[in-house]
Amino acid sequence: MPVQKKRFQALPFLVSLLITMIFGALGGLITIRSVKTWYPGIAKPSFDPPNWLFGPVWSTLFVIIAIAAYLVWTQRKHIAHFARTVAIFSLS
């Protein structure tokens, strides 16, 4: 079934962005202490990115995840197995 084009819906997008950022922040808060102890001591390859790059990359990834969540939610009427799709998406 073809996907119908709809106008951008700001509220669902902002909600998906907020939820995604909350989960990202919680993950960061849970791991921040332990990462500071073990990460500096592990052997890293020569192509290991600099530490300052992790923040922007993770932020970009979370925005992309929020966009994907927004698209799934706004197209839910056209997804045959919506509950299964949301369950699999939530595992990520």
Q: 2 lies in a domain? A: no
Q: 30 lies in a domain? A: yes
Q: 21 lies in a domain? A: yes
CA end-to-end span of the chain:
26
For 26-68, how does the pLDDT look when each residue is reduced to its tens digit (9 = 90+)? 998 998 888 888 888 899 999 999 989 988 999 999 999 999 9
For the cut 90, the answer to whether the pLDDT of residue 85 exceeds it is no
Q: 3 lies in a domain? A: no
- Domain containing 71 equals 10-42+53-91
Report the domain count for the chain: 1
> Is 78 within 8 Å of 1 (Cβ atoms)?
yes
Q: 60 lies in a domain? A: yes
Q: To 5 degrees, how large is the angle CA 77–CA 86–CA 72?
A: 50
Q: 5 lies in a domain? A: no
pTM: 0.74
